[in-house]
Amino acid sequence: MSNRQSAPVPREVSEAIRNARQARGLSRDAAARAAGVSVSLWTQVELGTQYKGEKKVDARTTARTLQAMAEAVGVDPVPLLRKTGLTRPATIATSTSRPAPLLDLSGLSEEDLSKVAAFVAGLRAR
């Protein structure tokens, strides 16, 4: 599937994004800014629904958007993309391209990693 095509967001993907955001103590606004998407789009993906006119329909998203959202809340995007039927984009826009990590965080506990992720997300949201 092309990176430009969209697919419906399964409930388990919506829940994974929402649970990860809440676990990191991020508001939808802060998470959306960290991912570079609108709060409206973030909310649609989290809830799994959107409105077309006055009709409520399944939310849809692209691979690029879902990957950015997953990374913003510290979730591996690959399983979410698979569940959505999308493939990982070859590259993300240069604004989200990252240099190689400068710190080795492999010795940190899950709790400490969550704190680091929340701190970084807060910095990005500014």
CATH number of the domain where residue 36 is located: 1.10.260.40
Q: Tell which residue, 99, 72, 89, has the closest CA to residue 16.
A: 72
Is 96 inside a domain boundary? Answer: no
Average pLDDT score over residue span 85-111 = 64
Q: How many domains, the chain?
A: 1
Greatest alpha-carbon pair distance for the chain in Å reads 51
Put simply, whether the predicted model's pTM sits higher than 0.75 gets the answer no
The residue range of the domain holding 108 is 6-90+103-125
Within-domain flag for 107? yes
* Per-residue pLDDT tens over the stretch 40-85: 999 999 999 988 888 999 999 999 999 999 999 999 999 999 999 9
Please determine, for residue 26, whether its predicted confidence score (pLDDT) is greater than 80.
yes
